[in-house]
Amino acid sequence: MARKRSRPSAQGSVIATNRKALRDYHIIESYEAGVALKGTEVKSIRQGKINLRDAFCRAEQGEIVLHGCDIQPYENASHEQHAARRPRKLLLNRGEILRLDEALSQQGHAVVALEAYWKGRLVKLRIGVGRGKKFHDQREDLKKAAVAREVDREWARFNRGS
């Protein structure tokens, strides 16, 4: 099987992004978090078998827990296998946990996973505090993207000399 190439970012090479979160939420602030993973989960992530589409965070007993992150089972594992959508503890410092807990207690706010990336040999997760977008906000974003695309096309045409 051909291996997916990951693109480099400011943090490291990106494993997966959650484009749905950027479409559905206004991201107010973001944090970098470590993820408590099992060995088979890391091996599966190395193969690119991670999906952040429905990933969100909850505050549970003084910890931030990631729910809905789908890491497919590692095929070459012997007897020790992980559940694909199990809750995973996020590794944050106490101040960040308190700020995220406060943000989650506010009406209309959610903490969603934005992207997973490698930092050295560790898997890191960028999570963001977001406020849900209304339908008209999503339409405005689409209009802005269409205008930006058109401007880029015009600049490209102008630079070619046509």
Q: 115, 14 in Cβ contact below 8 A?
A: yes
- Bridge partners of 150, per DSSP, are none
Q: What one-character DSSP code corresponds to residue 85?
A: T
Q: 73, 40 in Cβ contact below 8 A?
A: yes
Residue 131: the pLDDT is 86
Residue 91: the pLDDT is 92
Q: What is the pTM of this model?
A: 0.73
Residue 12: the pLDDT is 67
134 Cα distance to chain centroid: 21
Low-confidence ranges of the chain (pLDDT < 50): 1-6, 8-10
Residue 149: the pLDDT is 93
Contacts of 155 (CB under 8 A, 6+ apart): none
The C-alpha atoms of residue 80 and residue 123 are separated, in whole angstroms, by: 20
